[in-house]
A and B are shown apart, each in its own frame.
Chain A
Amino acid sequence: MSLQNFKSVFPKTDIYYFAILAVVIVVIMPLSMDIFRLNLVGKYLTYAFVALGLVLCWGYGGILSLGQGVFFGLGGYCMAMFLKLEASDPESTKIQSTPGIPDFMDWNQITELPWFWEPFYNLPFALIAVLVVPTIFAYIVGVAMFKRRVGGVYFAIITQALASILTILIIGQQGYTGGVNGITDLRTLLGWDIRTDSAKYILYFVNAGLLFTCLVIAQVVRKSKLGRLLVAMRDQEDRVRFSGYDVSNFKIFIFCLGAAFAAIGGAMFTLQVGFMSPSFVGIVPSIEMVIFCAVGGRLSIFGAVYGTLLVNWAKTTFSESFPELWLFAMGALFIAVVMAFPNGLAGIYKTHAQPFIKKIPKLIKELAEPRAHVKSGAQ
């Protein structure tokens, strides 16, 4: 990338935003929190991957997906399957009727590891599957929908149905998937105990690193010709089509990218929280993820991260202080944000904070040269 190119993709202000977010996540959070709280932040940040994908799909591409939990869940399950197999060695499962298989299979009278679990003994395979399985699934859905020009509300409803179907499938096939309980009691990654405090620190920073990688990818997409085409498609799909572009391919691409982001988030979630369950796959969590994105501002990649952090922080704090009333407080928060600030946190920043910040250099200048100021005032 030439310098010119670099500057057009990363304008000065965006570099500042990257730097501020990096300082907040990598420096301020770890220094000001104990490991328990930091682990919670790490968990919230895994949702930020999904919100980031939604900014691209929904904010830029105009594709509202209410089923991102599907991809988050698929990524998380791929990771969980590897970890579960490692935790189910014959030695630690010798109390079962069939040692060496995951405990929930044993409870469901399964005596042999199903074929599709076998490859997950292999870490590289599992890591590739984390990315590839959800992306391929998104590709299939994308081709089926966008090539037929299904969009808007219909697409949103279909994604919801998918989320619902996958949840029912996972719960129904509990012998193979762990059912409602999910895949629990994950312990080690290649012998490395992921439950210790030091592991939690490392995972937090790995997570932050991945999040920034995804943010950079999102920024590149946003600033490229593809990003402009997405906006054009969102606002006037027919005109873009008449200009000779194959609209559906762009949509499929951005939907797959959003799915891949969500999958990374899911895998990191499994590693940091230590289990995966169908409660992240269904309709409710999928809609919650859209809310994170809306609160942050659906046109801002940084807003997505801040929005996710804010909503989840509020959720945790409210529920700790008012165990019986906190859901109302959350509801009030969403209504207030959507009514008063339709563009979310990013919108508030743009209309209120940014004009002020822009004045700061001028103010500093004025303060630094009081005499000149007086002089000019006198004239």
Chain B
Amino acid sequence: MIFQKSISRVFKLTAIAGLALGMNSTFAEVNTTGLAVTDDTVTVGILHSVTGTMAISETGSVQAEKLAIKQINEMGGVLGRQIEYIQEDGASDWPTFAEKSKKLLVNDKVAAVFGCWTSASRKAVLPVFEQYNGMLYYPTFYEGLEQSPNVIYTGQEATQQILAGIDWVAKEKDAKTFYLLGSDYIWPRTSNKIARKHIEKLGLKVVGEEYYPLGHTQFNSVINKIKLKKPDVIYAIVVGGSNVAFYKQLKAAGIDLTDDKYTLLTISVTEDEILGIGGENIEGAYAAMKYFQSLDNPNNKSFVEAFKEEYGEDIVIGDVTQAAYLGPWLWKAAVEKAGSFDIDKVRAASPGIELTTAPEGYVKVHENHHLWSKTRIGLAKRDGQYDVIYETEGLMEPDPFPKGYQ
């Protein structure tokens, strides 16, 4: 192995020397830090769980990232180089994520990594990315409270999703009382903390707040409490498999969301989750996020078409899948603006990058590495899709450390 390594080092040196002597010196300029870049290829990493409990959620992101890479390659690649990817499996296991990210950065010298889904996996890889100076494009909507120079957050942080949603129900549904509930971990807890502060700021009232362990399937007691307290809005941040039990039991207990009497607003159920829950069980619920598959604009139309062509007619596209799709495009734009694959230059070039071709519409990278984006309200339909019934006028500013909400 040592022997091989020294050979490849010699080879690299001669290659660099050869280029420097020859007429073409671009190689050394676009890559001064030894990343996996050749004259016609550049290697990136994809790091998601394709096995384990998270696989069902993360598969969409993998598909979106591969689609984006394929489309970029068809357009001629990045700085004239075709993108090649190395895919690693995080196996729904946080230490494995750390191990694999280190492999991608140290052994494979990838120019960027598209990956992670849960906050826990991001927290596990973060020190690795900061230590080895890598670039991670993270697609999931998450709790905020983080701003790493080595991460571009392509999903929404908590305030973007929450504030617009609550403002909307307060205005349109004339809501006065809220019942907050969620799965018990950092994202729902932080989100509900922000929601509570905002609700109280508007002069409205939280009548209950409860958390259940991940994977919990017995929601009868909270449903009884909801029936007793009769909140105007049920604000639900239940994640993963628990959703199936929650919405079915809600319906079985006679809380029919299609009835105007009940309003349920969620920030955790995308089209992907509805596949498991069943459209008939969640019909009539509202969701606040930045993207829905049914979004009506030319960008999204061609995106959905390309996605279906690649992965079959029946596929659904959720918020995170779209955000994952943005990753390679944002990276491409930053590399081209910087004229280099060097991580430091890409980082410096990232703020201000605009994407007019995003399926969700126009997005822009903020100084804090999050995206400016619109927030939309969708109404769940029986067929598992959302009707987009409202969108914020302007782009919401990302604010991962919201003053007054901590």
Binding site for B on A (CB under 8 A): 32-34, 36, 39-40, 43, 95, 97, 104, 107-109, 168, 171-172, 174, 179-182, 184-187, 195, 273-275, 277, 279-280, 316, 319-320, 323-324, 326-327
Give B2 Cβ to nearest chain A Cβ, in Å: 8
Chain B 89-132, CB-CB to A under 8 Å as 1, else 0, gives 10101111011101100110000000000111001101100010
Q: Does B145 contact A (CB under 8 A)?
A: yes
The reply to whether A109 and B193 form a contact with Cβ atoms under 8 Å apart is yes
Does B76 lie at the interface of the complex (its beta carbon under 8 Å from any beta carbon of A)? no
Give every chain B residue within 8 A of A316 (Cβ-Cβ).
99
A320 B103 Cβ-Cβ under 8 A: yes
B127 touches A185 (CB 8 A): yes
A195 to B130, CA, bound (A): 11
How close is A121's CB to chain B, nearest CB, in angstroms?
Answer: 22
Which stretch of B182-190, B226-234, B332-340, B369-377 is in the interface?
B182-190
> Measured between C-beta atoms, what is the minimum distance from B63 to chain A in Å?
12
Whether the Cβ atoms of A279 and B51 lie closer than 8 Å is no
Q: Give the distance in Å from the alpha carbon of A275 to the alpha carbon of B121 in the complex.
A: 12
**4 A-B pairs with the lowest CB-CB distances in the bound complex, closest first:** A323-B89, A181-B120, A184-B123, A36-B106
Contact of A185 among B95, B99, B126 (CB under 8 A): B126
Interface membership of B406, Cβ < 8 A: yes
Flag if A181 contacts B51 (CB, 8 Å).
Answer: no
Contacts of B87 in A (CB 8 A): 323
Contact A277 B124 (CB under 8 A): yes
Which single residue of chain A is at the shortest CB-CB distance from B119? A181
Residue of B nearest to A273 (CB): B95
With beta carbons under 8 angstroms apart, the residue of B1, B98, B126, B401 that contacts A95 is: B401
- Given A323-B50, A324-B50, A275–B1 Cβ distance below 8 Å? no
A173 to chain B, nearest CB (A): 10
Q: Which residues of chain B are within 8 angstroms of A275 by Cβ–Cβ distance?
A: 94-95, 98, 124, 127
Inter-subunit contact A179/B186 (CB<8 Å) = yes
> What are 11 A-B contacts defined by CB distance under 8 Å?
A33-B1, A43-B99, A97-B406, A171-B214, A172-B213, A182-B124, A195-B131, A275-B95, A320-B88, A323-B50, A327-B91
- Given A107-B145, A279-B95, verify A324-B193 contact (CB < 8 Å): no
Residues of chain A within 8 A of B91, CB atoms compared: 319, 327
Tell me, in angstroms, the Cα distance from A105 to B106 when the chains sit together.
Answer: 32
B5 adjacent to chain A (CB < 8 Å) = yes
Cβ contact of B120, chosen from A180, A186, A187, A280, cutoff 8 A: A180
Contact between B89 and A179, CB atoms less than 8 A apart: no
For A326, the chain B residues whose CB sits under 8 A away are 51, 89
Which residue of A108, A172, A280, A319 has the most chain B CB atoms within 10 A of its CB atom?
A319
Residues of chain B contacted by A184 (CB below 8 angstroms): 123-124, 126-127
Interface flags for B69-96 (1: CB within 8 Å of A; 0: not) read 0000000000000000001110101111
Q: How many residues of B contact A (CB 8 A)?
A: 40
Q: Which residues of B contact A107 (CB under 8 A)?
A: 143, 145, 186, 189-190
Which chain A positions have C-beta within 8 A of B120? 180-182, 277
A276 to B89, CA, bound (A): 20
Contact A32 B1 (CB under 8 A): yes
Instruction: Name A319's contact: one of B88, B94, B131 (CB within 8 Å).
Output: B88
Query: How far apart sit A323 and B190, CA to CA, in the bound complex (Å)?
Result: 33
Interface string of B370-404 (1 = CB under 8 A from A): 00000000000000000000000000000001000
Q: Write the chain B residue with the least CB distance to A35.
A: B106
CB–CB A279/B98 < 8 A: no
With A39-B102, A180-B186, A274-B127 given, can you name 17 additional A-B contacts, CB distance below 8 Å? Answer: A34-B5, A95-B401, A107-B143, A109-B193, A174-B185, A174-B189, A179-B185, A179-B186, A181-B94, A181-B186, A182-B124, A184-B126, A185-B127, A186-B127, A275-B127, A323-B87, A323-B88
Contact A181 B123 (CB under 8 A): yes
B302 CB to closest chain A CB (Å) equals 28
What separation, in Å, do the CA atoms of A56 and B193 have in the docked complex?
49
Cβ-neighbour of B94 out of A95, A97, A195, A277 (below 8 A): A277
Most buried by B among A43, A107, A171: A107
> Residues of A contacting B127 with CB < 8 Å?
184-187, 195, 274-275
Residues of A within 8 A of B145 (CB): 107
Chain A residues with Cβ below 8 Å from B94 are 181-182, 275, 277, 279
Pick from B102, B143, B213: contact of A168, CB under 8 Å:
B213
Query: Bound complex: CA of A168 vs CA of B186, how far in Å?
Result: 15
Known contacts: A104-B186, A107-B186. The answer to whether A319 contacts B124 by CB under 8 A is: no
Report Cα–Cα, A86/B51, bound state, in Å. Answer: 35
Chain B residues whose C-beta falls within 8 Å of the C-beta of A323 in the assembled complex? 50-51, 87-89
Q: Nearest Cβ in chain A — how far from B355, in angstroms?
A: 28
Given contact pairs A184-B124, A273-B95, A324 touches B51 in the complex (Cβ within 8 A): yes
Of all chain A residues, the one with the shortest Cβ separation from B48 is A323
In the assembly, what is the distance between CA of A182 and CA of B95, in Å? Answer: 10
B89 to chain A: closest residue by CB:
A323
Considering only CB atoms, which chain A residue lies closest to B93 in the complex? Answer: A279
Which chain B residues in 236-263 approach chain A with CB under 8 Å?
none
Contacts of B107 in A (CB 8 A): 34, 36
Kindly list chain A residues whose C-beta atoms are within 8 Å of the C-beta of B2: 32
B1 touches A34 (CB 8 A): yes
Q: How far is the CB of A184 from chain B (nearest CB, A)?
A: 5
Chain A CB count within 10 A is highest, among B51, B143, B190, B214, for: B51
A279 to B120, CA, bound (A): 11
Contact across chains for A36 and B103 when beta carbons are under 8 A apart: yes
Q: Among A104, A181, A186, A274, find the residue whose CB has the most chain B CB atoms closer than 10 A.
A: A181
Whether A277 and B214, one on each chain, are in contact in the complex, defined by CB atoms closer than 8 angstroms, is no
**Closest residue of chain B to A322, judged by CB?**
B89
| Cα–Cα distance between A316 and B96 once the two chains are bound (Å) | 9
Task: Using CB atoms, name the residue of chain B closest to A186.
Answer: B127
Is A171's CB under 8 angstroms from B98's CB?
A: no
**Complex Cα gap A329–B143 (Å):** 37
Cβ contacts under 8 Å, A36 to chain B: 102-103, 106-107
A298 CA / B145 CA spacing, docked (Å): 47
- Chain B proximity of A257: nearest CB distance (Å): 26
Q: Which residues in B have their C-beta under 8 angstroms from that of A319? A: 88-89, 91, 96, 100
Measured between alpha carbons, how far is A33 from B106 in the docked complex, in Å?
13
Q: How far is the CB of A314 from chain B (nearest CB, A)?
A: 14
A171/B51 contact (C-beta < 8 A), A195-B131, A323-B89 known:
no
Closest to A196 in B: B131
CB-CB < 8 A to B96: which residues of A?
Answer: 319
* Distance of B240 from chain A, by nearest CB (Å): 12
Contact B185 A324 (CB under 8 A): no
Q: In the complex, A49→B145 CA distance in Å? A: 37
Complex contact B98–A273 (CB within 8 A):
yes
A174–B186 touching, CB < 8 Å: yes
The closest CB in chain A to the CB of B143 belongs to A107
